[in-house]
A and B are shown apart, each in its own frame.
Chain A
Amino acid sequence: MEYSYKNRAFTNYYHADNYNILVIAQKRKRENEMSEYSGNEAVIMKNVCKDFKVLNRHEGLKGSIKDLFSRDYKTVSAVKDVTLTVNRGEIIGYLGPNGAGKSTTIKMMTGVLEPTSGEILVNGKVPYKNRTENCENIGVVFGQRSQLWWSLPLIESFKLLRDLYMVPEKDYQDMIALYQSLVDIEPILHKPVREMSLGQRTLSDILAAFLHNPPIVFLDEPTIGLDVSMKAKIRELILGLNKEKNTTVILTTHDMGDVDALCKRIVIIDKGTKIYDNDIDHLKTYFGSYRTLKIKRADDTWEETLIDDKTTDVMDVIMEKRKTMKIKDVKIDEISTEEVIKKIYEGSAK
């Protein structure tokens, strides 16, 4: 029984395979199109690589002492040959497992990291040259860090950012009015940032990143650690700002809910290589039918089975299981981002 599920799942990899050919074809097309900056692209990345030099650490106390004088470096490639074009007004989900190179890519796009090779243009300019000037045209939120002034009420941080980015008073007032129409900011506006809950702080940080109305905003895991209603609120806000101001948003996340709510297109990288770049609908076509069936055994442990809804009926599996074991509880989950990525990666690795 077990075997046949696996087998069925296996046949489905063929879809993934065909599908990868499609992806590669599209990738080629995009690369060819990407000759010069035409004004409509928010980000252009061409064959971007990023290597880090890391000291080879040795084990133990002896090793640590040895490391003090060691010149033994190894090169780690965080991003390998990534080519990507993001058009103005797009919301892109930039996905990948932990350590895939997402943050490195974002840091290169913001200009704090210089690529080892390849070209990057953000708003038509090379981000790491004239970093300070380019910063005026981007907004950044790193999920677990706040750029706000810790002990000051939010409104003071806003005023400071207004002066720092030299936002005209009228634009500033319009933006605050827009914020008020999108979320209820009144209760947090006069609250010191350090007294805020994580959700309120993240919300504030996102608002701060959009305040100077940059053409492009980078959101690095903005919904990490937030509750369901706050997540929904933040997604609504991002969507609203994108719509109102036509801001390009590049979003990294591990939450499939974020992707579903916000992104039309997703880019997946793993081990520094781009392995998927397409509309989210395609992703759903191929992997949306997968379900994770969780069965609670008599000894209170869970057994997980990945099932393709299209080829296998979930009820059949449960019935089948019931013949051999006592089932205490049943749960059916949608496939997670990690699993989608895993599947895509397994597909592309073949």
Chain B
Amino acid sequence: MNPKRLLAITRAGIMESLHFRLGIFVTLFANLIYLVLVYYLWKAIYASSGTTVVNGMTFEDTMIYLILATALFNFLEMFVVWDMSRSIQSGKIVLDLLKPMRFRKYTFWSYTGNHIVQFVLTFIPTFVVVMIVTKGAIPMGLNLVWFLAATVIALMINYNIEMLIAPICFFTESTWGVNIVKETIVLLLSGATIPLAFFPEKARMVVSYLPFRAVYDIPLSILLGKNGSDTWQGLVSLFALQLAWLLVLTLAGNLFWNSAVKKVTVNGG
């Protein structure tokens, strides 16, 4: 663990992301379109339900949740699977394996710069706009600190989920289909597209123990003071769930990666 090394990789990542500044504006614009769509969709859902509170959430609650989930999604989104399948097909993976750092660590830190840029340029502006428009719907206090901590863990969990899928391309040579399936599952079960409160009771029980929830639902719950995160007990149990999954996924990811890399070194990838 050498902080100077990690800092250098992060710095380069920030510079590379800033280089594609147009991409950031396009992301913001695409979000706008998506959110307009989401707004009218949920407006229709609430209108047809006949009540103002559905599954314990008002229309405003739902919108705040979904807008922040979208902003969080932009910031947490990773392209490990795409990048790895491309670098395997082109053979570039050899150069990555020849870096004087463990591959998993190196890859994680090379994405960090991009996360920081996305956080500052897409999440914070969205957050500020939501804060101003809703005038105090988001509690401002220690929950912000917990939210940041939960987000960092969410980032690591998300990376580990990616790293569990990415090495599949060592065996299949193409991961397009696998990646689409993974993305759909993560977005649905993590509560990024539909708040988990809207899931049927039994499904919610199952989903609330799965790792996907730890990526979007837990940080957002903490930020908005939902799901018992306003009590110490609730907060601790949410963090415990996150950390437990982080541990399990890191170990599983390590094992899978080591066996996948063995395949490359033994059979040339």
Contact = CB atoms under 8 A, between A and B. Distances in A.
Given A135-B99, A149-B16, A107 B8 contact: no
A145 B268 contact: no
A337 interface: no
A160 to B, nearest CB: 5
A112 B92 contact: no
Contact of B4 (A107, A131, A142, A163): A163
A107 B94 CA distance: 8
Interface in A101-120: 104, 107, 110-114
Given A163-B4, A166-B2, A152 B16 contact: yes
Nearest to A148: B95
Interface residues of B, number: 28
Given A107-B94, A164-B9, A114 B19 contact: no
Contact of A160 (B8, B94, B95): B8
A156 B7 CA distance: 13
Given A113-B268, A163-B5, A164-B5, A151 B19 contact: yes
Interface in B99-148: 99-102
Nearest to B93: A112
B94 A152 contact: no
A97 to B, nearest CB: 19
A289 interface: no
A132 interface: yes
Contacts of A78: 268
B99 to A, nearest CB: 6
Interface in A74-128: 78, 104, 107, 110-114, 128
Interface in B1-15: 2, 4-5, 7-9, 11-12, 15
Interface residues of A, number: 34
B51 to A, nearest CB: 52
B264 interface: yes
A14 interface: no
Contact of A156 (B12, B101, B264): B12
B12 A152 contact: yes
Nearest to B268: A52
Nearest to B266: A114
Contact of A112 (B4, B12, B97): B97
A-B pairs with the 10 shortest C-beta distances?
Answer: A163-B8, A151-B19, A135-B100, A136-B100, A147-B95, A114-B265, A160-B12, A112-B97, A160-B8, A135-B98
A113 B91 CA distance: 13
Nearest to A192: B19
Contact of B100 (A112, A150, A165): A165
Nearest to B90: A145
20 contacts: A104-B268, A107-B268, A112-B265, A113-B265, A114-B265, A128-B265, A133-B100, A136-B100, A138-B98, A145-B94, A151-B16, A151-B20, A152-B15, A156-B12, A156-B15, A157-B12, A160-B9, A160-B12, A163-B4, A164-B100
Contacts of B9: 160, 163-164
B8 A145 contact: no
Given A142-B95, A150-B16, A164-B101, 17 more contacts: A52-B268, A107-B94, A110-B94, A113-B265, A113-B266, A132-B102, A133-B100, A135-B99, A140-B98, A149-B16, A151-B16, A152-B16, A152-B19, A156-B15, A163-B7, A164-B99, A166-B4
